[in-house]
């Protein structure tokens, strides 16, 4: 990363910690020098910046470290590599109504909003999310829920976005109760960065809103490095787990942040220790301006192989490649993805083959 670091980050004890939503805020927080802020101004006009006060404090404790590098913009983001595009996993082609993505027969994504508490620099939806991003109106949410109701093959609803934990508990409860009233829906799964980025938001009221009789609620937490497992964030995880909500994790394999066996071991063991089952290790998607985060598939496969026998099966997620073009996920460590003369051949869940180029 080429970000110019300040000589000393501002201590949380020096000034009240505020959210950072502009480059000027990052300078004020001691996270960028003025020169570095000027160097990324064009980047931040295109891709949203937002750090919660909690993340500002965590990033300031270790400038250039694994938390800092996930959230602070760099000049490298201005470069769009060949193959990168604004919808790298093909959500749009599988969206029959606003807020719904129906890629697999038995499950849908429900995206009630496009805002997040924080904006990761490697986000695969970075062209679609941002402050003031689209949220479904009451009529649009009703139409999205009606789509689920009218498709009895849908057994699982994945609520994502954006970050659904930004919704008020009342609105979360309305979604959960609406799904629980549909006899064919058995599982609702929430995907959220909030437990890691704004753990105080995971209140007893929010946790209670996630549950309804007759519906199994799961939460998938986005976490990329063991440094994110602090007393505050593990407390948020405990509030969810103690309420009987099963927890899984999603991790993105990121060059310079967690692309070592030691970093992954520490993260996955830490998650299991706090009752979170590592679920997916994502190969980074081909989102614009993210090539500096992306290891090669060969590197990722070697890392995953190195974990076999080193950590418990409980600590082993599935390493997955989201096949560009909307074809779904392929396990990337085994026979589903194989090298060819053209690059890599990835088999989707229908065993149709697609070429992927690093």
The catalytic residues are 103-104, 107, 116, 120, 123, 125, 285, 322, 329
Determine the Cα–Cα distance for residues 70 and 293; give it in Å rounded to an integer.
10
Relative to beta strand 216-222, strand 247-252 is parallel
Using DSSP's 3-state secondary structure scheme, residue 145 falls into helix
Which pairs with CB-CB distance under 8 Å and at least 24 residues apart come from 260-263?
A: 260/303, 261/303, 261/306, 261/307, 261/310, 263/66, 263/225, 263/226
Using DSSP's 3-state secondary structure scheme, residue 265 falls into helix
Query: How does DSSP classify residue 303?
Result: H
Using the structure block, give the residue that is written with the tokens 């934990």. 165
**With DSSP H G I counted as helix, E B as strand and the rest as coil, what are the percentages for the chain, rounded to 5?**
35, 20, 45
What secondary structure does DSSP assign to 19-61, as a single string? Answer: -B-SHHHHHHTTSS-HHHHHHTHHHHHHS---B-HHHHHHHHH
Residue 240 host element (H or E): helix 231-242
Q: Which residues contact 200 (CB under 8 A, 6 or more apart)?
A: 54, 232, 236
Residue 267 host element (H or E): helix 261-273
């Amino acid at each position: 990363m080429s970000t110019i670091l300040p000589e000393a980050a501002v201590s949380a004890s020096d000034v009240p910690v505020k959210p950072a939503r502009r480059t000027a805020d990052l300078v004020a927080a001691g996270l960028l020098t003025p020169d570095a802020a000027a160097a990324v101004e064009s980047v931040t006009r295109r891709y949203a910046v937002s750090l919660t006060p909690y993340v500002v404090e965590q990033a300031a404790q270790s400038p250039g470290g694994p938390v800092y590098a996930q959230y602070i913009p760099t000049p490298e983001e201005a470069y769009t590599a060949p193959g990168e595009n604004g919808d790298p996993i093909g959500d749009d082609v599988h969206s029959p109504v606003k807020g719904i993505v129906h890629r697999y027969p038995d499950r849908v994504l429900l995206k009630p909003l496009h805002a997040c508490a924080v904006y990761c620099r490697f986000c695969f939806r970075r062209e679609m999310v941002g402050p003031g991003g689209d949220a479904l109106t009451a009529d649009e949410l009703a139409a999205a829920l009606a789509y689920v109701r009218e498709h009895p093959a849908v057994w699982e609803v994945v609520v994502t976005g954006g970050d659904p934990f930004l919704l008020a508990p009342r609105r979360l409860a309305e979604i959960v109760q609406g799904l629980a009233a549909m006899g064919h829906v058995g599982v609702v799964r929430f995907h959220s960065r909030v437990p890691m980025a704004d753990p105080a938001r995971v209140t007893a009221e929010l946790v209670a809103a996630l549950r309804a009789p007759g519906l199994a609620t799961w939460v998938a937490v986005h976490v990329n490095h063991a440094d994110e497992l602090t007393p505050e964030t593990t407390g948020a995880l405990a509030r969810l787990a103690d309420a009987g909500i099963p927890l899984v994790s999603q991790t993105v394999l990121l060059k310079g942040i967690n692309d070592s066996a030691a970093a992954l071991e520490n993260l996955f063991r830490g998650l299991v220790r706090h009752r979170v089952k590592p679920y997916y290790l994502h190969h980074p998607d081909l989102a614009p301006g993210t090539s500096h985060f992306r290891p090669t598939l060969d590197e990722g496969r070697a890392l995953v192989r190195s974990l076999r026998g080193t950590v418990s099966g409980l600590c082993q997620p599935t390493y997955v490649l989201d096949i560009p073009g909307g074809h779904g996920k392929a396990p990337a460590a085994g026979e589903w993805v194989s090298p060819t003369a053209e690059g890599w051949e990835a088999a989707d869940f229908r065993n149709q083959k697609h070429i992927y180029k690093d």
